[in-house]
Amino acid sequence: MSTDRDTTRIVRSWLKTDESESADRILGTVLDRLDTTPQRRASWPVRRLPEMNNTAKLALGAAAVVVAALLGLQFLLPGANVGGPDLPDPSESGISVPSSTARALPPSGELEPGTYLVSRQDWTPVPFSITVPPGWTTDINGFIRKHEGEPQELMLTPWIVTHVYADACHWDGTLSEVGATAEALAAALSAQSGREVSGPIELTLGGYPARRVDLLVPSELDVATCDEGQIRSWPSSPTDETTGWIGLPGQTDVVYVIDVDGERILIGTTRGPEASDEDVAQLDAIVASLRISPDALGN
């Protein structure tokens, strides 16, 4: 993650509008503005991970994932068809939520509990929905997180990745294109040197095959010995290596790569060194709630 805080919050004031106004009209206004604003591509250098404070450089404790039912989380869709480690299984947890239509993910601000559609084509080739509990926010760069800027911070975001560094520490000059499949991307990430990596582990998300790769930056690693003093997994784009997915000592990123009928979705997640078990379980449950939009598949 970067040590420079992203101060771009150009739409926050739009979300402060009186509650009696039409949310659809406000969202339409925001999206009209965004059509003329550079997005998360090479032309937008702020596309990077949200940073935590310096405490994030401490070693990550092993966060035990508790069963979501013990937390009283009432936000997962029934039958989310999830398998694999560290993700709560709704069929076993007893979690349920009244069915509702997914709302468009707002451009910034606090998220009301519910289901949101993520459909920006510069973030994901296939629209999908996720369900979030209270206490989570989003921003113009598509980061969904809790406890922003704190050592308890958790985050997830979709990202289109076509190139990966072979070495996360000595990354300069090691960028290479990966194959078009989910398997190829997961394999490239799992082969990345310069830090600890585990996986890929096969699982199912949203009814589709997926792979999980854990990327860990040892707390004792001296990042000053890395190129430009940074740990990097991938750049913002193959033509813009000024930003991208950046790590700190003690940071663990869990990356999910989903194969949707030949299209791949990458969901990147991060947990802070002081994230509680309850919040980690919420993050995992949000990932588990992922559903592929039927419209994306022509159904």
Confidence of residue 25 (pLDDT cuts 50, 70, 90): very low
Distance separating alpha carbons of residues 123 and 119, to the nearest angstrom: 8
pLDDT one-digit tens code per residue, 154-179: 999 999 999 999 999 999 999 999 99
Q: Decide: 248 and 215 in contact? Cβ < 8 Å.
A: no
pLDDT for 197 beyond 90? yes
pLDDT of residue 295: 60
> Before 218, cis peptide (omega within 30)?
no
Q: Decide: 233 and 240 in contact? Cβ < 8 Å.
A: no
- 93 has which bridge partners? none
Chain center to CA of 275: 16
pLDDT for 136 beyond 60? yes
Burial class (CB in 10 A: 0-12, 13-18, 19+), 34: middle
Average pLDDT, the chain: 74
Confidence of residue 208 (pLDDT cuts 50, 70, 90): very high
DSSP string, 183-235: HHHHHHHHT-BSSEEEEEEEEEETTEEEEEEEEE--TT--GGGSGGG-EEEEE
**Average pLDDT value for residue range 10-27:** 36
CA distances from 97 to 19, 78, 94, 117, 293 (A): 24, 7, 10, 16, 18
**Average pLDDT value for residue range 139-151:** 92
Confidence of residue 151 (pLDDT cuts 50, 70, 90): confident
pLDDT one-digit tens code per residue, 52-104: 443 333 333 333 333 333 333 333 333 333 434 456 554 343 333 434 589 99
The pTM of the full predicted model, rounded to 2 decimals, is 0.70
Q: Which of 8-22, 233-247, 248-262 has the lowest mean pLDDT?
A: 8-22
Residue 115: enclosing H or E segment and its boundaries?
Answer: strand 114-118
What length is written for the chain? 299
List of residues 6+ apart from 52 with CB closer than 8 A: 1, 149, 150, 151, 153, 248, 272, 273
